Amino acid sequence: MWADQSEVIPEVVILRLPLYARTLAVLAYEGRELVSSQELGERLHVTPAQIRKDLSYFGRFGKQGRGYNVRRLLQELRQILGLDREWVMALIGVGRLGRAILGYSGFAPEGFRVSAAFDLDAGEVGKRIGPLVVQHVNELAEAVQRLGIRIGIVAVPASAAQRVVDILVNAGVRAILNYAPADLRVPSDVLVREIDPVTALQSLTYYLKLQPTEQLVPLQMLSAPGLFRTEP
Amino acid sequence: MWADQSEVIPEVVILRLPLYARTLAVLAYEGRELVSSQELGERLHVTPAQIRKDLSYFGRFGKQGRGYNVRRLLQELRQILGLDREWVMALIGVGRLGRAILGYSGFAPEGFRVSAAFDLDAGEVGKRIGPLVVQHVNELAEAVQRLGIRIGIVAVPASAAQRVVDILVNAGVRAILNYAPADLRVPSDVLVREIDPVTALQSLTYYLKLQPTEQLVPLQMLSAPGLFRTEP
């Protein structure tokens, strides 16, 4: 039943849930017990109707006229998103970017753990970075099985990204966080999320370019690109 | 006329243009002269009709049955996006993340230059990082005017992000690349793009969670979250 249900939930709804959860976590931290869809919408620049519709895919959470219980809704969302457990990740590419990712303190509190680091360059193999020893990418498939790696983080140059992704996919990894500015080819059952600051900047400049000589174009804030815009 | 036109172009179209440009740059590098909307669509996991519709907002680029001239379309897109010039950016926050951003080699080749670095902590002020000397954030407004800073990169902890964004906005900056996992409040004429790997991971896990016991849910690859999905 859940599998059937999941097929009809638009991916854009799933993409908004982590942002709802993040805002609820702030409210919980502030000691708030209840929140209305109105206030949640204002904080996230989305209509209350959108929030109610998104949540309705997963059941009934709020009481009419009373709002949502902050902690309960947060807990439900974390369960729906699979955030009530730890996820094991592998990093591929231990250059400057890869090392920054290994040093990033934001993963662990959210249950994401980088448990192995790999590189294509044999010269990097055996080096110690924090608690990890860099392995050659040839050892990846074995590590995926042994450590239960579910997510691969690609931090190699664009020219090597497809090769690394093929290795991850062949090893059974079905979720990839890609920092390389490259269009990756993956089977239809593999999910890719791109983290690319340059692409993000390149759509900002379109609007900046219009500003100096033209009237400022009013735009909604985008908490995440495209998620909170309604197509006309 | 352009200002009017820009108001009717959906933002999701603008968000796709950098991805078209990136793929065209790869094709140009491969020495390709022409490309069909069919092939461009296959590379980007989007329908040829979508590409033709997106480009039609900006004029006629392809010849019926002949495809697009790769270099010419790339050049046009770069001009539309404002990528045919240099953009001056300021970084705020010189911790581990900020230093990784300063060391990122992907900005300069695309015309994005970090020209100044700031921190809230007086203890960081005066330190040299590459060609830059860290300044106190109180000096930001003056630097924005003097250096022509148009984009602010926020790399401070979430708890300090709103304060930094307020300083940027008051200094006249209208485009923000936000690495802090925080929902920012900005005026309607300020654009924010978030770079947050944790939020990206938190929607992947929804699908991963369904995999071990349930049948694998087939999903399209997302080159950028939400951009290439059609709402049902």
d(CA B110, CA B106): 7
| H/E stretch holding B115 | strand B112-119
Check residue B70 and give its pLDDT.
Answer: 96
Give the list of residues 6+ apart from residue B79 with CB closer than 8 angstroms, or none.
none
In chain B, residues with a C-beta closer than 8 Å to the C-beta of A226 are 11-12, 15, 224-227
Check residue A229 and give its pLDDT.
Answer: 37
Q: What's the whole-number mean pLDDT along residues B124-129?
A: 97
Task: Say which of A15, A186, A195 has its CB closest to residue B226.
Answer: A15
DSSP assignment, residue A63? B
The dihedrals phi and psi of A61, each to the nearest 5 degrees, come to -110, -40
- Cross-strand partners of B133: B128
Q: Are B44 and B19 in contact (CB under 8 A)?
A: yes
E strand intervals along chain A:
34-35, 68-69, 87-92, 112-119, 128-129, 132-133, 135-136, 151-154, 175-178, 191-194
How sure is the predictor about B7, in pLDDT bands with cuts at 50, 70 and 90? low
Q: Decide which of B217 and B19 is more confident.
A: B19
CATH code 1.10.10.10 for A2-80: yes
- CATH code of the domain occupying B87-197: 3.40.50.720
Task: Say which of B211, B220, B227 has its CB closest to residue A188.
Answer: B220
Check residue A11 and give its pLDDT.
Answer: 83
What is the residue-level pLDDT of chain A in tens, covering all 232 positions?
344 444 578 888 998 999 999 999 999 999 999 999 999 998 888 889 999 999 999 987 777 678 899 999 999 999 999 999 999 999 999 998 899 899 888 899 899 999 999 999 999 999 999 999 999 999 999 999 999 999 999 999 989 999 999 999 999 999 999 999 888 999 989 999 999 899 999 989 999 988 753 333 333 333 344 344 333 3
d(CA A200, CA B193): 6
Q: Above 50 in pLDDT, residue B225?
A: no
Taking an 8 Å cut-off on Cβ atoms, the answer to whether B201 and A151 are in contact is yes
How sure is the predictor about B175, in pLDDT bands with cuts at 50, 70 and 90? very high
Comparing alpha-carbon positions, the chain A residue that sits nearest to B96 is: A100
Comparing alpha-carbon positions, the chain B residue that sits nearest to A226 is: B12
- How many of the other CB atoms lie within 10 Å of CB of A132? 17
Sign of CA dihedral A16, A17, A19, A24: positive
- How many of the other CB atoms lie within 10 Å of CB of B166? 13
How sure is the predictor about B227, in pLDDT bands with cuts at 50, 70 and 90? very low
The dihedrals phi and psi of A47, each to the nearest 5 degrees, come to -75, 150
Check residue B190 and give its pLDDT.
Answer: 93
Give the list of residues 6+ apart from residue A49 with CB closer than 8 angstroms, or none.
A37
Helix, strand, coil percent values for chain B (each to nearest 5): 45, 15, 40
Residue ranges per domain, chain B?
Answer: 2-81, 87-197
Taking an 8 Å cut-off on Cβ atoms, the answer to whether A7 and B217 are in contact is yes
Q: Which of B190, B201, B215 is most worth mutating to test chain A (most A CB atoms within 10 A of its CB)?
A: B201
- How many of the other CB atoms lie within 10 Å of CB of B148? 11
Tell which phi-psi region holds residue A79, choosing left (phi > 0), alpha (psi between -120 and 50) or beta. Answer: alpha
Taking an 8 Å cut-off on Cβ atoms, the answer to whether B192 and A221 are in contact is yes
Comparing alpha-carbon positions, the chain B residue that sits nearest to A159 is: B26
The dihedrals phi and psi of A167, each to the nearest 5 degrees, come to -65, -45
CATH code 1.10.10.10 for B2-81: yes
> What are the pLDDT digits (tens) for B214-223?
333 333 333 3
pLDDT > 70 fraction of chain B, expressed in percent and rounded:
87
Question: Between the CA atoms of A206, A208, A209 and A214, what dihedral angle is there, to the nearest 10 degrees?
Answer: 120
> What are the pLDDT digits (tens) for B28-60?
999 999 999 999 998 888 889 999 999 999 987
In the numeric block, which tokens belong to residue B150?
């148009």
Residue B63's SS3 state is strand
| Class of the CATH-defined domain A87-195 | alpha beta
Check residue A66 and give its pLDDT.
Answer: 82
